[in-house]
């Protein structure tokens, strides 16, 4: 009885979690008339891969993908490095201003992001960073950082302090102890932090829309959005593109799902 | 270790790529931003390529933006002193842009004889000056009919209803309609206002003031409701996409749509004809579609005369007879130059001939900025009529009142008030506090920094410097804006005025209503996130085999980008074609729910979407927490005879607290501040702006109604609310921790 109830719940939620994506799959496989089918079947005799071939052959989708890949990779690397060092410092050391710093990290999440767009634009254009990936990278890395730091700090809290103490007795410097002993042990958290940075830049739209104006430089969300027009959206193309955008992230998630449980540790606000 | 060395090289490579990736430039680059639909874009690309071939020193960079985004992006970039040289869009953006001095009058740039060659409808004037040149005239609505189903278009309303009723059919007898006589995006005021003229009045006065409280308005409201409820010839819930795809599939006999859709129907191989809106029998008047233009305007920021010359060159090329005819040939647009209209391409085109007849009864599209307020208040009240929460009479009256109110607040030019001193006092206090704080702490800090804690400070510096250098300026910019009179009329010369916006937020009952909704939104979301997350985690961890498989399947919602999810769910909630209602009807035998046309069902739809997005995160957090609970505890509890629920209550739940609490707090902050879901699922707050939470309300005030100062003040208030909220939560956490120990 208890078992079958559990199975039922899990299967129900699996359906709940998968169905919307299957729906997108079925739209992407329909030809011209993307909406307006009353059947729940995903495929029918008219299913076609037309939208996908159109996507790759007639739109700069691959170019956008490379742009996104480039931006996300740089953001991920810088995010992981910066979050690891500062998360470690917060976790291990007592110093003046620590509590304020930790609170201020949380505070940065509280400001409505949409209101930051206009000032972002003004700063970037003063620094001549409009239409450059660098501008985008700077903003992405710093906006993803607060959560990443929190997350790294939470993980380091769970690593026993004795490890570095032993290392220091063996003659390691503080940095060596961090770099050689603690960091290699923190793979799960590093992977998860990387995943967060990656995801936030892979699917970000608002900042990209104000920063990048040259279609050659578009990232995937911008490109995808260009299939949408106020009164004439290319729904089939959009759905096909949406799948192609989502799949890498889903694959990434599946690949590292073994780290997810051990690596995701949202630290408490208190030190 | 090797991995880390490889990373080093990789980082180095990436950094050098950033530094050396500067593009080579042609002599002049002209940017053109436009909002052309997909098929038109292809033509534009061809035309621009041709232009570049003829002018090798000029490079044209073409950027597409969706209409609303085009507007807000152009505003922001002009504020930053740059922006595209040419902007292409609908005529109604001229009013706001000209008011803000973002575009320049063309009268000195284009000789008057040249201007005379265009249809006056294509020369968009504001305050007696021409600001836009259209390459086409039209952008108007009409009745489009599928010749297979409707051989002869209805001339009168009675005929329309008759044909509509005869075509609205349920073929397979399952109680659901399979073919509609008529379909259109009837919830959108733009598709509704032409009918008002059929009852003898227009929605704006000659002087561009709103004229919403009229008998004609009330009759038109009634007619729309009757289409749906009395004659039952249109779908119950029908947005643009829905109407469009019904028509394209031959499942709707007639549709109201614009000239932009012709290409689409042609490629869907629909044999269609076009006609005027049907004559209203009781008045013997034609409904009047709004006729406008889409065209080019020139950025006011161009200073370099050479660049201006090149820009005009491009403008002339894009509006030339040849270019217009290419567009006519490829996508059947109606040219704006008189001489182009004499071309056989136009004369022999039956559709265009009919179109010019339809336009004879049209009215020009108003371009004044006030029209935005009119649309906005009309949309709200009109949707209330459709939802049955207001009578036509009430709605007409209220729409007029609201339009006047909105116009007033849009146009108000605030001057510094007495509270300005308070603002200066506040700034002085902040500055004083900071100085005091630094002066007293710096010594200690330096001592700390030079001494034992040099290492942690150095480790933290890069991250914190980058976070705060990015956040600080925008934050103070916003703070300043919130005390300023920044709005439509003061776009280029705003000043600080005091606490005005804070006062108007605090006395506005709408603010409290939205605030309450935001709290309900946050609490219900976090509640479901946590309870579903913990439930699934416990089941997976304690009961299921193949834990990895289930975990992987259940985290998929987390992995999909939010904007994709949100739009997908919007499609799924559609009343006629969304899989959710189909499921309810087919499998549970329930009656369909009109998800997206009632305030509370729309709100629930948003909550469901957001729950879908958020539960995997909590599930993973909870799974992590479960790992740290020792199995011995459960064993000994079992020995003591505790059942599953008791074990959960006394062991699992308390032991999960340390991981769940911070995650829930963070989740609450994110949920409070999330815009995507509400904005996309409810289509920017529909119905009638009743689905807003604070963040979407801010967004709307800023970008829809140009009330930047007000929006900034509101966002500061959101910020303060969240700070207070997290302080309170922390305090509770602390107390419960202390009472536990």
pLDDT band of B393, cuts 50, 70, 90: very high
B610-647 pLDDT, tens per residue?
Answer: 999 889 888 888 888 887 787 888 888 888 887 878 88
Cβ(A29)–Cβ(A48) below 8 Å: yes
pLDDT value, residue A42 = 63
Mean pLDDT lowest among B127-136, B268-277, B335-344, B690-699: B690-699
Other beta carbons less than 10 A from residue A206's beta carbon: 17
Give percent of chain B with pLDDT exceeding 70: 94
Closest partner CB to B577 (pick from A37, A85, A113): A37
Say yes or no to pLDDT of B14 above 50.
no
Mean pLDDT across B251-277: 87
Query: For chain A, how long is the longest CA-to-CA vector?
Result: 71
- Give the containing element (helix H, strand E) for B30: strand B28-34
Mean pLDDT across A57-76: 88
B437 and chain A in contact, CB less than 8 A: no
Say yes or no for a CB contact (<8 Å) between A257 and B441: no
Cα gap B358→B336, rounded to integer Å: 16
Cis peptide bond N-terminal to B85, omega within 30:
no
- Give the containing element (helix H, strand E) for B396: helix B392-411
- How far separated are the first and last CA of chain A, in Å rounded? 45
Spell B257-274 as b/e; 16+ CB within 10 A means b: bbbbbbbbbeebebebbb
Say yes or no to pLDDT of B9 above 70.
no
DSSP B447: H
Chain A CB contacts of B473 below 8 Å? 119, 123
Chain A CB contacts of B708 below 8 Å? 118
pLDDT value, residue A255 = 81
B443-485 pLDDT, tens per residue?
Answer: 777 777 777 777 878 888 888 888 888 888 888 888 888 888 8
A147-162 pLDDT, tens per residue?
Answer: 888 888 888 888 888 8
**Among residues 596-625 of chain B, which lie with CB inside 8 Å of chain A?**
612, 616, 620-621, 623-624
**Among residues 472-491 of chain B, which lie with CB inside 8 Å of chain A?**
473-475, 477-478
Say yes or no for a CB contact (<8 Å) between B556 and A86: no
Mean pLDDT across B79-91: 84
pLDDT value, residue B23 = 43
Give all domains of chain B, ordered by start, each with its CATH number.
23-137+293-362 (3.40.190.10), 141-288+369-407 (3.40.190.10), 517-695 (1.10.3720.10)
Cα gap B612→B607, rounded to integer Å: 8
Give percent of chain B with pLDDT exceeding 90: 15
Say yes or no for a CB contact (<8 Å) between B730 and A270: yes
Spell B635-658 as b/e; 16+ CB within 10 A means b: eeeeeeebeeeebbeebbeebbee
DSSP string, B64-105: E--HHHHHHHHHHHHHTT---SEEEEEGGGHHHHHHTT-B--
- The ipTM, to two decimals, is 0.82
Query: For chain B, how long is the longest CA-to-CA vector?
Result: 99
A262 and chain B in contact, CB less than 8 A: yes
pLDDT value, residue B49 = 92
Alpha helices in B22-177 (DSSP H): 38-54, 67-79, 94-99, 112-115, 157-167
Say yes or no to pLDDT of A38 above 60.
no
Say yes or no to pLDDT of B93 above 90.
no
pLDDT value, residue B455 = 80
Alpha helices in B412-490 (DSSP H): 420-450, 454-482
According to DSSP, the residues that pair with A128 across neighbouring strands are: none
Cβ(A242)–Cβ(A224) below 8 Å: yes
Mean pLDDT across B559-566: 81
Cα gap B252→B250, rounded to integer Å: 6
Q: Residues with Cβ < 8 Å from A255, sequence gap 6 or more? A: none
Shortest alpha-carbon distance between residue B630 and chain A (Å):
15
B302-318 pLDDT, tens per residue?
Answer: 888 888 889 998 999 99
Cα gap B507→B505, rounded to integer Å: 6
Say yes or no for a CB contact (<8 Å) between A89 and B80: no
Say yes or no to pLDDT of B212 above 50.
yes
B584-596 pLDDT, tens per residue?
Answer: 777 777 777 777 7
pLDDT value, residue B196 = 92
- How far separated are the first and last CA of chain B, in Å rounded? 42
Other beta carbons less than 10 A from residue A159's beta carbon: 17
Secondary structure of residue B503 in the 3-state scheme = helix
Chain B CB contacts of A214 below 8 Å? 61, 63
Say yes or no to pLDDT of A30 above 80.
no
- Give the containing element (helix H, strand E) for B129: strand B129-138
Shortest alpha-carbon distance between residue B306 and chain A (Å):
22
**Mean predicted lDDT score pLDDT of chain B:** 83
Chain A CB contacts of B464 below 8 Å? 86, 101
**Among residues 50-109 of chain A, which lie with CB inside 8 Å of chain B?**
70, 73-74, 77-78, 81-83, 85-86, 88-90, 92-97, 101, 104-109
Cα gap A225→B236, rounded to integer Å: 29
Choose from B333, B453, B467 for mutation: most chain A CBs within 10 A.
B467
Mean pLDDT across B321-332: 88
Phi-psi region of B94 (alpha: psi -120 to 50; beta: other; left: phi over 0): alpha
Choose from A2, A38, A112, A146 for mutation: most chain B CBs within 10 A.
A112
Say yes or no for a CB contact (<8 Å) between A228 and B66: yes
Cβ(A85)–Cβ(B460) below 8 Å: yes
Shortest alpha-carbon distance between residue B624 and chain A (Å):
5
Chain B CB contacts of A70 below 8 Å? 14, 17
Chain B CB contacts of A249 below 8 Å? 559-561
Say yes or no to pLDDT of B71 above 90.
no
If we measure between CA atoms, which residue out of A166, A241, A210 comes closest to residue B561? Answer: A241
pLDDT value, residue B17 = 46
DSSP B451: T
Cβ(B609)–Cβ(B681) below 8 Å: yes
Between the alpha carbon of residue B506 and those of residues B44, B475, B720, the distances in Å are 49, 21, 13
A269 and chain B in contact, CB less than 8 A: yes
**Among residues 187-226 of chain A, which lie with CB inside 8 Å of chain B?**
199, 202-203, 205, 209-210, 213-215, 221, 224-226
Say yes or no to pLDDT of A70 above 90.
yes
Cβ(B255)–Cβ(B189) below 8 Å: no
A190-249 pLDDT, tens per residue?
Answer: 888 888 888 888 888 888 887 887 778 888 888 887 776 655 567 777 888 888 888 888
Closest partner CB to A138 (pick from B249, B470, B718): B470
If we measure between CA atoms, which residue out of B24, B94, B88, B100 comes closest to residue B492? Answer: B100
If we measure between CA atoms, which residue out of B36, B38, B260, B294 comes closest to residue B141? Answer: B260
Q: Residues with Cβ < 8 Å from A226, sequence gap 6 or more? A: A215, A218, B64
Between the alpha carbon of residue A194 and those of residues A70, A141, A145, B57, B559, the distances in Å are 14, 11, 11, 45, 14
pLDDT value, residue A76 = 92
Strand order in the sheet with B252-258: B180-183, B252-258, B141-146, B272-275
B352-386 pLDDT, tens per residue?
Answer: 888 888 888 888 888 888 888 888 888 888 888 88
Phi-psi region of A63 (alpha: psi -120 to 50; beta: other; left: phi over 0): alpha
Place of tokens 């609908």: B90
pLDDT value, residue B51 = 92
Give all domains of chain A, ordered by start, each with its CATH number.
59-230+249-263 (1.10.3720.10)
If we measure between CA atoms, which residue out of B514, B574, B547, B545 comes closest to residue B718? Answer: B514
pLDDT value, residue B1 = 41
Retrieve residue A155's tokens: 């993980």
């Amino acid at each position: 009885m208890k078992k079958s109830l559990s199975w039922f719940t899990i299967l129900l939620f699996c359906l709940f979690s998968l169905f919307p994506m299957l729906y997108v799959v079925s739209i992407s496989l329909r030809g011209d008339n993307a909406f307006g089918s009353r059947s729940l079947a995903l495929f029918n005799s008219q299913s076609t891969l037309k939208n996908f071939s159109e996507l790759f052959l007639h739109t700069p989708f691959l170019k956008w993908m490379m742009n996104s890949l480039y931006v996300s990779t740089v953001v991920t690397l810088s995010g992981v490095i910066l979050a690891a060092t500062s998360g470690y410092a917060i976790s291990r050391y007592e110093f003046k201003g620590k509590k304020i710093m930790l609170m201020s990290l949380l505070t940065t999440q509280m400001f409505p992001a949409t209101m930051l767009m206009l000032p972002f634009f003004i700063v970037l254009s003063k620094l001549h960073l409009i239409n450059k990936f660098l501008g985008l990278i700077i903003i992405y890395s710093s906006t993803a950082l607060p959560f990443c730091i929190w997350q790294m700090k939470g993980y380091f809290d769970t690593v026993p302090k004795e490890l570095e103490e032993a290392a220091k007795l063996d003659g390691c410097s503080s940095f060596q102890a961090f770099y050689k002993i603690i960091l290699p042990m923190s793979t799960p958290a590093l992977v998860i932090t990387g995943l967060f940075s990656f995801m936030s830049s892979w699917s970000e739209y608002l900042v990209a829309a104000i920063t990048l104006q040259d279609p050659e430089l578009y990232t995937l969300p911008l490109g995808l959005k260009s299939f949408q027009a106020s009164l004439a959206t290319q729904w089939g193309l959009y759905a096909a593109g949406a799948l192609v955008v989502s799949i890498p992230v889903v694959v990434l998630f599946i690949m590292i799902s073994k780290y997810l449980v051990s690596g995701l540790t949202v630290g408490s606000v208190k030190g | 270790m090797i991995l880390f060395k490889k990373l080093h090289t990789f980082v180095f490579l990436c950094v050098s790529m950033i530094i050396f990736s500067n593009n080579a430039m042609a002599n002049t680059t002209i940017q053109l931003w436009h909002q052309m639909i997909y098929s038109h874009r292809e033509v534009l690309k061809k035309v621009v390529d041709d232009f570049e071939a003829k002018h090798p020193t000029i490079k044209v960079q073409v950027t597409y933006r969706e209409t609303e985004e085009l507007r807000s992006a152009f505003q922001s970039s002009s504020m930053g002193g740059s922006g595209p040289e040419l902007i292409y869009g609908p005529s109604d953006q001229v009013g706001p842009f000209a008011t803000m001095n973002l575009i320049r009058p063309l009268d000195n740039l284009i000789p008057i004889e040249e201007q005379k060659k265009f249809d006056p409808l294509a020369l968009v004037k504001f305050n007696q000056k021409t600001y836009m040149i259209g390459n086409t005239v039209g952008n108007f609505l009409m009745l489009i009919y599928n010749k297979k189903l409707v051989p002869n278009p209805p001339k009168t309303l009675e005929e329309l209803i008759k044909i509509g009723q005869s075509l609205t059919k349920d073929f397979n007898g399952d109680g659901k309609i399979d073919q509609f006589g008529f379909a259109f995006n009837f919830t959108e005021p733009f598709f509704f206002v032409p009918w008002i003229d059929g009852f003898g009045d227009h929605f704006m006065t000659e002087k561009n003031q709103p004229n919403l409280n009229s008998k004609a308005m009330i009759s038109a409201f009634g007619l729309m409701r009757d289409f749906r409820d009395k004659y039952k010839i249109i779908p119950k819930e029908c947005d643009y996409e829905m109407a469009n795809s019904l028509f394209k599939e031959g499942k709707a006999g007639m549709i109201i749509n614009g000239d932009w859709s012709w290409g689409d129907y042609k490629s869907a191989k629909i044999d269609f004809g076009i006609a005027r809106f049907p004559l209203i029998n009781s008045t013997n008047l034609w409904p009047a579609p709004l006729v406008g233009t889409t065209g080019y305007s020139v950025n006011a920021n161009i200073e370099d005369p050479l660049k201006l010359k090149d820009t005009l060159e491009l403008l002339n090329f894009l509006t030339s007879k040849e270019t217009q005819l290419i567009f006519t040939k490829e996508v059947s647009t109606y040219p704006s130059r008189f001489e182009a209209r004499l071309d056989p391409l136009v004369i022999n085109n039956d559709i265009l001939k009919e179109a010019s007849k339809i336009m004879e009864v049209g009215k020009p599209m108003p371009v004044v900025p006030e029209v935005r307020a009119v649309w906005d208040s009309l949309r709200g009240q009109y949707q209330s009529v459709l939802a049955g929460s207001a009578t036509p009479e009430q709605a007409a009256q209220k729409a007029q009142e609201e339009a006047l109110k909105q116009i007033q607040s849009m146009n108000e030019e605030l001057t510094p008030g007495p509270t300005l001193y308070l603002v200066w006092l506040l700034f002085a206090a902040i500055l004083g506090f900071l100085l005091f704080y630094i002066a007293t702490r710096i010594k200690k800090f330096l001592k700390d920094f030079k001494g034992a804690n040099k290492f942690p400070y150095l480790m933290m510096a890069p991250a914190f410097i980058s976070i705060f250098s990015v956040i600080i300026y925008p934050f103070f910019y916003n703070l300043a804006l919130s005390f300023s009179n920044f709005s439509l009329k003061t776009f280029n010369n705003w000043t600080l005025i005091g606490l005005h916006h804070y006062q108007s937020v605090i006395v506005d009952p709408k603010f409290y209503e939205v605030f309450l909704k935001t709290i309900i939104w946050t609490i219900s979301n976090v509640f479901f996130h946590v309870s579903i997350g913990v439930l699934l985690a416990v089941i997976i961890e304690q009961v299921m085999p193949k834990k990895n498989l289930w975990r992987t399947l259940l985290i998929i919602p987390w992995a999909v980008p939010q904007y994709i999810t949100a739009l997908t769910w919007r499609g799924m909630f559609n009343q006629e074609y969304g899989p959710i209602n189909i499921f309810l009807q087919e499998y549970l035998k329930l009656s369909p729910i009109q998800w997206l046309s009632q305030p509370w069902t729309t709100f629930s739809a948003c909550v469901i979407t957001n729950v879908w997005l958020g539960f995997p995160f909590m599930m993973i957090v909870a799974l992590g927490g479960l790992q740290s609970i020792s199995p011995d505890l459960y064993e000994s509890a079992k020995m003591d005879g505790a059942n599953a629920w008791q074990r959960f209550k006394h062991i699992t739940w308390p032991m999960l607290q340390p991981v769940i609490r911070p995650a829930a707090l963070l989740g609450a902050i994110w949920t409070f501040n999330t815009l995507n879901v509400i904005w996309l699922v409810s289509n920017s707050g529909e119905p009638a702006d009743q689905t807003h939470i604070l963040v979407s309300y801010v967004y709307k005030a800023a970008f829809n109604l140009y009330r930047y100062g007000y929006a900034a003040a509101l966002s500061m208030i959101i910020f303060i609310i969240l700070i207070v909220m997290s302080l309170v939560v922390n305090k509770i956490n602390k107390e419960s921790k202390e009472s536990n120990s």
